[in-house]
Each structure stands twice: as structure tokens, then as C-alpha cells.
Amino acid sequence: MRPFVESFETRDKHKYIYDVETGTVVPDNDVLSLVIKKIGEDKKDPEISNELNRDFPKTIVEATLKFVRRWQAAYGGFLRNTSVLGHSHAVSEAAVYQEYDMGATYLMVLNLTENCNFRCKYCYLSEEYRFTRNRTESKMNFETAKEAIDRYFSYLERIKKKIPNKKAGITFYGGEPLLEFPLIKMIVNYCREKEPVPIVFNMTSNGYLLNDEISKFIVQNNIHLAISLDGSKANHDRNRVMPHGIGSFETVLKNIRKFMQAYPDYHDIGIISVFDVRTDLRENVRFFEENKLPRIFFISEVASSNTDYYDRFSREDFDKYNQTYEELLEEYIRAKQSGERISNYLEMFFEAPLSMTIIRLRAKDAKSKLVPYTNTCVPGMKISVRADGTYDICERINATFPVGDVEHGINTKAVCEVIDEYNKAVTKDCKNCTAVKNCPLCFAYTNGDRCFSIPDNFCKRWRKQQLMKLSAIYTILEKNSHAFDLLQNSLENSFAFNA
């Protein structure tokens, strides 16, 4: 038996133990960590008691010993037998079918066009990133979209017999999907006529082409719209530029405001905001406070795999960014501790990354046998359809892992190969990892040229970050035990269906 726990301290230097198996955080009065350590050294209870009774009250030692033993026996917590660890086996097509048969698929992403009217400097689908496709003139035709949808709907028709409340989604993606607005209209009308289960439409757009006609259509069809806006003019225009380098801020902001004016009660519109180390975070906090804008759906960092994007920044840029980050984090912690109102930007900036650690997987949460480690999706939960009708497992994965096409449907053999490759290359050491309950290393995060790999030093860094996150979370909870109650509700709602 070896300990399978991590230790961390809160800002007030209170000690805690994170039990990996159950995901439970237990305060440590030193006796707890020592008992776990000594059991891990294969010592028997009388021996442990004898050793600890010298420094701690006998009753506390006995109680802790009993607690650790029963916790281990009932929930497999604190310590585990290293010899029983399994290895991931090659997955079978039957296992993949079974997963789909349980209704795993819930989203189809239609990449309507590979073209875009912007030239954002961090664009994932550009020369900036290796192994991803770049901008092309290629676009989807209605026949391809229809074939993809027909297949998807016939699957949903079958699944709804097992899951009468099944809901599903279709996301319009690109390139810039609004370049293909007539196609969007045809698709939405077709779906509304044929949908076997309620379908939610989502669209991610740069907002430049959002006009009255499009806005009206979005509202009428309840399309969930995410518009990219990186914050203040300076922050936004530094990266989100049009051909010839002209910033897009003014037009995008004007369009969003116009939309809000026309449809003040429409709540399925939100902002996606991207940042890098030169983003002035404080300016963004101010910007979103001062401007009445739709709520922020999420804030994400410019991806760092398969790119030299970050080489453009200097040491000073990183230092300055890190300093502001730390200051803002302390501001966030203080505000959460006292239950004060927090700006939407600050909240999303810190709470979204913390949320996976707050709502972490627990001992009895079922994980797919196909991908038993990390928090990746199961390939096939989403089907991303390229403009030419080829299927990918995600719109964020590069073009080197196709898994079927509209003509033949999902190729489960190809899916198995993708999973096996991933499990071999990425998850080989996960079974011993203490961050396994909330690891974000998914297929898209790790894909290279027809292979997967863990970004340099990722695992060590991630485990360290987990402890930092736990420290921040419990520093908050020590002063305000209800600080994250709302998060729980909003996460539940985000999966639910509110068409």
C-alpha cells in the first residue's frame, strides 16, 4: 500500500490532504499525514500508535488510525495497492459501438467554410499552428450538410427510444460561419422540420457580419451565439485584425450593441475572450465593467502547442503578466472570501479554470472505459464535419485524424486507432498521477502530425497548478463556505438544455 494523496496549504498556512481516489480534501493536523505515511511504510497499527503517541494525544492518534483504515477499506482512499493497477488495453469496435449506443453523441459541428474575413494573429486555423489546416476558399454545400444531418438525426431517432429526454446540438463553425448565412438558413429550416429530438443551435462568430437580418434570424431560431471579443480596443485590435491589419473592434462592438438594443431580452448571446501574455488584464476588467455587454461565456488563453506564437514575447512581458495575474488572483480570492460582487471578467478569468478542480470527479463517477484517464471527451460524442464532408472527432483537432465521412458515416475502426494512439502516447503514466481527476489533456490538446504527445513538462506543471488551485479554493472556502454554490448550479445548467 502506498499513499495516493497530495498535500497543500492555504494562504493562512492551514494544512490539507487531497485524497485522489475520492477527490475529498481533508484538513491535516499532522497526525493524519503521519498515519498515512506510516501505513504506507507497511507499519502495523500498534507500532504506529507507539511512535505517534510520543508527540500527539493518544485518543487523536487512535481516532485517526481508525478513520484512515475505514476510509481505505470503504472507499479505497488515501492509500492503494500499487500491484493492482491495470493497463489500458486496445479498444474494440464493439466497445465504441456500445458507447454510441448509450447515447454518447450529442453534438454535430458543421464547419461551413474554411474561409474567414479576419486574419487574427493567434488563429488556430492558420500558418501560426503546425499540422492544422489553413484558410482556404473551400465551403460546405447544402447536400453535404443535409447528408451529415440525416445521419445524425437517424442516430438520435434511435437513441431517443432509450433516452426519451435526449437533447442534442448543432454548432455552426468555420472559418467565419456568417460568410455562409444563406446556407445557415437552409440548414436551420431543414432541421426544424426534421429534428427527432429538440436541437439547440450554436454559432461561434467574429461578429463582423452581424446585421439586422441575421440578428432577427438568430433570435427567431434561438441560436446560441458566441462572439469573439478580446476586451478593450487595444487588447482586441492587437490580435483580431482584418486583412491589411486593420483592427475589428469598432465594428464588432457596434454590432453587439445594436443586437442588444434590438433584443434586450435575448440571453443566449455571449462573449468569448482570448488573452495572451501581453493582454492588459486590468484594462479588460475595467472594459467589461464599464460597458454593458452580453455575459462572458469563457475566457481562454492562446494555445501554446504546435506553435511558436509565444516566442514573440519577451521575459519582461511574462514577468509583467505574471505579476498582474498574481495581484488579480489575490483580489479575486479576497472578494470571494467576503462574498463581494466580482466583475464578470475577473470571475470568468479565475473561476472557469478553478471550476474543474472545484467540481472534480469523485470515486463513483463513471469514466468511459475507452479513455479511462484524463478528462478528455470520448471520440464520437462530437462529430465535426469538414466543409468537404470528412468527419473529425473535434473541431479543434488537426486534419490528420479523419474518422469517417458523410457518405459512410463514422468509421469505428479509425476511432479505435485514434483512441489507441492517444492512450499509448498520452495516458501511459496517468494511473499514478494525482491530477488524473481533472486533467485537461484531451485529443485536441495533444495532437501532432498523425500522432499524439504530451506537451513538454505538462504533467509536472499541471500537478503543481492543481495544488495551487486547491490552495486558492480552500483559502476561499475557509472564510466563505458557500462561495462556490452558484457555480454548481450554473455548471448543471450549462449541460442542461434551454432551447
356 binds another protein (CB under 8 A): no
Measured CA to CA, the distance from residue 400 to residue 379 in angstroms comes to 15
Which residues contact ligand SF4 by CB under 6 A?
373-374, 426-427, 429-430, 433, 435-436, 439, 441, 454, 459, 462
Any idea which residue has 496517468 for its cell?
A: 430
224 binds another protein (CB under 8 A): no
By CB under 8 A, the residues from 91 to 120 that bind another protein are 102-103, 106-107
CB of 490 to another protein, least distance (A): 10
- 457 contact, one of ligand SF4, another protein, none, CB 5-8 Å limit per kind: none
- Judged by DSSP in three states, 345 sits in helix
Nearer to another protein, 6 or 62 (CB): 62
First vs last Cα of the chain: how many Å apart?
50
By CB under 8 A, the residues from 162 to 181 that bind another protein are 162-169
What are the Cα distances from residue 419, in Å, to 79, 145, 380, 394, 427?
30, 26, 11, 13, 10
Contact present, 312 and 358 (Cβ < 8 Å) = no
CB of 438 to ligand SF4, least distance (A): 9
Contact present, 386 and 392 (Cβ < 8 Å) = yes
Quote the cell numbers at residue 426.
498520452
Contact present, 381 and 101 (Cβ < 8 Å) = no
Measured CA to CA, the distance from residue 444 to residue 371 in angstroms comes to 14
- 191 contact, one of ligand SF4, another protein, none, CB 5-8 Å limit per kind: none
Which span sits near another protein by CB under 8 A: 14-22, 91-99, 211-219, 221-229? Answer: 14-22
478 binds another protein (CB under 8 A): yes
- 371 contact, one of another protein, ligand SF4, none, CB 5-8 Å limit per kind: none
β 24-27/15-19 pair status: antiparallel
CB of 114 to another protein, least distance (A): 27
Q: 112: exposed, middle or buried (C-beta count within 10 Å: 0-12, 13-18, 19+)?
A: buried
By CB under 8 A, the residues from 27 to 66 that bind another protein are 27, 29, 31-32, 59-60, 62-64, 66
Plot region of 42 (φ>0 → left; ψ -120 to 50 → alpha; else → beta): left
CB of 458 to ligand SF4, least distance (A): 6
Q: 239: exposed, middle or buried (C-beta count within 10 Å: 0-12, 13-18, 19+)?
A: buried
Which span sits near another protein by CB under 8 A: 16-24, 247-255, 269-277, 279-287? Answer: 16-24
- 24 contact, one of ligand SF4, another protein, none, CB 5-8 Å limit per kind: another protein
| Interacting residues toward another protein by CB under 8 A | 12, 14, 16, 22-27, 29, 31-32, 59-60, 62-64, 66-67, 70-71, 74-75, 102-103, 106-107, 158, 160-169, 359-365, 474, 477-478, 481, 488-489, 491-492, 495-497
